[in-house]
C-alpha cells in the first residue's frame, strides 16, 4: 500500500474515532478501517467505555472478509484485560495480514506490547502514520493515563482589546454565532465544564450542549462561599446530578442540603487564598475517570488556573470589537514583572469563524 493511501485510510480512522468524542472516557477515542485489495470492507469505532473497541467492531462487521486484510487504527491495539479482552488476540484470530497504527499506546499497560505480540504472530506492522494528528485527538487520554488527572482547556471569548464584558458586565454577545456553535461542539467532546461563582451568578448559564445529537458534559461551579442561588438554571436541567458545586468548609449547611435535594452534587474542599484550589478538584475528577475539562470563565477562575499551572491548552476567541479600558479584562494579575517570565504558548494555530478568530496553543 502506498504512503498516500495509508494516510487516506488513517484520516478515515481519525474521523471515525471522533464520533466517540466525549463518550469513551476513561478510554481513548479509536477508529478502525479494514481494507482488502484497496477496498474498504468494514469500519468501526469505540462508542463508549465497556463496549467493543474499534478493531473488534470492524472485525465483527467484516467476518471472514478480514482474513488477509490490512487494519488501520489511530492507536495501537490493546494487549491487556480491562473491561474487554485483549484486542490483539482477536486481530490474530481474524487472520489480518497487516496492521497500520497511527501511534503507540501511551498506556503503561500497553506501550508497544500489542505491536510486539502482533509481530510475533507474523503480522506486518507499520506505526507512525499521521502520528501528530493521532496524538492530538487523544491528547487528553495521553495525560490522564500517565498522571490520572484530566486534560485542562481554558476557553475565553474577548474583544480585540482583551475585554470579556463591558463595565456594566454585559457580555452578550461578544463573538458571533459561528464561534458559539464551535463551543457547543467542544462541549459535546469534553467530559466537564467549569465556571467560577462570578460567572454562575452574573450570567446564570446552562452549560449545556445545544447541537443535534450532542450530549451534556458534567457542569461544575467553583464557589468557595456558595453564592450561587438555588434558583440558578444549572440546578434545573435534565440530569441534575451532572451539576457539581465545589465549595468551602464554611458554606451554609442548609443551602448545601437544598442543592442536594434538587439532585445536584456539592463537594467541599479547603480554600486557599479565598478560592477553591484546582489540584484536589482535578484529582477527584480523575478518580471519576474524566479525561478532559474545559474552563469557561470568568477572569478570576481563568487567572487562578493559570497561576496554579493546571492549564494544558488555551482557546481564546477574539471578536473584532473594541470595548475600552473600563471593560472587564479576560485575565487578572499573573504577577509577572519581567517579559522573560511571561507564559509562552507553543504550537499556536489561528482559525477563522466568520469575523471572529480563534487563537489556540499549549502551555
* Sequence-ordered list of residues with C-beta below 8 angstroms from that of 338, at least 6 positions apart, any chain: none
Grid coordinates in use for 251? Answer: 458554606
pLDDT value for 202: 86
Its pTM stands at 0.91
Grid coordinates in use for 310? Answer: 493546571
Q: Tell me the catalytic residues.
A: 55
Answer whether 25's CB lies under 8 Å from 289's CB: yes
Longest dimension (CA), the chain: 69
pLDDT value for 96: 95
Answer whether 262's CB lies under 8 Å from 240's CB: yes
Rounded distance, CA 267 to CA 249, Å? 9
Comparing CA positions, the residue from 198, 174, 209 lying closest to residue 302 is 198
Q: Where do we find the cell 446530578?
A: 241
- Measure CA of the first residue to CA of the last residue in the chain; give whole Å: 38
Rounded distance, CA 254 to CA 18, Å? 43
- Indicate the SS3 state at residue 116: helix
pLDDT value for 168: 86
pLDDT by position in tens, the chain (length 363): 577 899 999 999 999 999 999 899 999 999 999 999 999 999 999 999 889 999 999 999 999 999 999 999 999 998 876 666 789 999 999 999 999 999 999 988 788 899 999 999 999 999 999 999 999 999 999 999 999 999 999 999 999 999 998 888 877 788 999 999 999 999 999 999 999 999 999 889 999 998 888 899 999 999 999 999 999 999 998 899 999 999 999 999 999 999 999 999 999 999 998 899 999 999 999 999 999 999 997 899 999 999 999 999 999 999 999 999 899 999 999 999 999 999 999 999 999 999 999 999 999
Q: Where do we find the cell 487504527?
A: 73
Amino acid at each position: 500500500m502506498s504512503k498516500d493511501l495509508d494516510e487516506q485510510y488513517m484520516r478515515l480512522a481519525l474521523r471515525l474515532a471522533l464520533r466517540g468524542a466525549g463518550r469513551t472516557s476513561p478510554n481513548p477515542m479509536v477508529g478502525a478501517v479494514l481494507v482488502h485489495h484497496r477496498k474498504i470492507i468494514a469500519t468501526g469505532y469505540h462508542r463508549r467505555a465497556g463496549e467493543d473497541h474499534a478493531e473488534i467492531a470492524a472485525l465483527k462487521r467484516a467476518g471472514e472478509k478480514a482474513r488477509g486484510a490490512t487494519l488501520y487504527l489511530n492507536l495501537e491495539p490493546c494487549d491487556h484485560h480491562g473491561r474487554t479482552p485483549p484486542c490483539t488476540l482477536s486481530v490474530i484470530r481474524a487472520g489480518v495480514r497487516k496492521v497500520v497504527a497511527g501511534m503507540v499506546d501511551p498506556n503503561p499497560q500497553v506501550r508497544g506490547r500489542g505491536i510486539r505480540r502482533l509481530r510475533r504472530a507474523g503480522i506486518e506492522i507499520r506505526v507512525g502514520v499521521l502520528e501528530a494528528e493521532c496524538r492530538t485527538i487523544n491528547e487528553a487520554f495521553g495525560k490522564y493515563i500517565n498522571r490520572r488527572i484530566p486534560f485542562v482547556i481554558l476557553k475565553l471569548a474577548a474583544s480585540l482589546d482583551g475585554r470579556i464584558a463591558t463595565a456594566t458586565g454585559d457580555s452578550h454577545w461578544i463573538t458571533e454565532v459561528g464561534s458559539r456553535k464551535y463551543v457547543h461542539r467542544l462541549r459535546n467532546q469534553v467530559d466537564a465544564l467549569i465556571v467560577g461563582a462570578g460567572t454562575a451568578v452574573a450570567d446564570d448559564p446552562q452549560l449545556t450542549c445545544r447541537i443535534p445529537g450532542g450530549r451534556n458534559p458534567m457542569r461544575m461551579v467553583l464557589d468557595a462561599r456558595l453564592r450561587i442561588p438555588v434558583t440558578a438554571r444549572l440546578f434545573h436541567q435534565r440530569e441534575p446530578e451532572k451539576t457539581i458545586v465545589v465549595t468551602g468548609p464554611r458554606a451554609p449547611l442548609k443551602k448545601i442540603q437544598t442543592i442536594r435535594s434538587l439532585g445536584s452534587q456539592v463537594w467541599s474542599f479547603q480554600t486557599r487564598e479565598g478560592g477553591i484550589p484546582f489540584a484536589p478538584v482535578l484529582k477527584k475528577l480523575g478518580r471519576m475517570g474524566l479525561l478532559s475539562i474545559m474552563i469557561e470563565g470568568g477572569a478570576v477562575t481563568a487567572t487562578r488556573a493559570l497561576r496554579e499551572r493546571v492549564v494544558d491548552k488555551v482557546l481564546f476567541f477574539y471578536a473584532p470589537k473594541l470595548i475600552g479600558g473600563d471593560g472587564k479584562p479576560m485575565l487578572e494579575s499573573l504577577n509577572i514583572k519581567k517579559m522573560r517570565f511571561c507564559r509562552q504558548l507553543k504550537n499556536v494555530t489561528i482559525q477563522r469563524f466568520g469575523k471572529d478568530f480563534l487563537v489556540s496553543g499549549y502551555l
